[in-house]
Amino acid sequence: MISKILIANRGEIALRIVHSARELGIKTVAVYSEADRQSLHVLLADEKVCIGPAKASESYLNVANILSAVDITRADAIHPGYGFLAENAKFAEMCQTHGLIFIGPPPAIIRLMGDKNKARQTMKKAGLPILPGSDTVIDDFAVAKKIAAKIGFPVIIKAAAGGGGKGMRICRSSSQLEDQFPIAQGEAKAAFNDPSLYIEKYVSGARHIEIQVIGDSKGKVTAFGERECSVQRKYQKLIEETPSPFIDEKTRRKMMKEVEDAASEVGYQSLGTFEFLVDENRKFYFMEANARVQVEHPITEIVYGINLIKAQIRIASGEKFGFPFELVMRGHAIECRINAEDPTTFVPSPGKIDFLVLPGGEGIRVDSAAYGGWVVPPDYDSLVAKIIAYAPNRDLAIRKMRAALEATTIVGIKTNIPLLLEVLSHTDFLAGQYNTQFMDGHIAAKAAEETL
Q: Which residues bind other proteins (CB under 8 A)?
A: 34, 37-38, 40, 43-44, 49-53, 59, 64-69, 71-73, 352, 371, 373-375
Measured from the CB atom, is 50 or 143 closer to other proteins?
50
Closer CB to other proteins, 99 or 324, in the complex: 99
Q: How far apart are CA 231 and CA 233, in angstroms?
A: 7
Measured from the CB atom, the residue of 16 and 400 that comes closer to other proteins is: 16
CB of 228 to other proteins, least distance (A): 35
CA distances for 366 relative to 16, 212, 299, 308, 408, angstroms: 11, 20, 11, 16, 11
Give me the least distance between CB of 352 and other proteins, in Å please. 6
Active-site residue (options: 10, 120, 292, 314): 292
Q: Which is nearer to other proteins, 43 or 407 (CB)?
A: 43
**Least distance from other proteins to the Cβ atom of residue 71, Å:** 8
φ, ψ for residue 40, nearest 5 deg? -65, -35
Minimum CB distance to other proteins, residue 111 (Å): 22
Q: Which is nearer to other proteins, 72 or 149 (CB)?
A: 72
Shortest Å, Cβ 63 to other proteins: 9
Q: 98 or 172: whose CB is closer to other proteins?
A: 98
Catalytic residue flag (residue 120): no
Least separation in angstroms between CB 31 and other proteins? 8
- Catalytic positions are 292
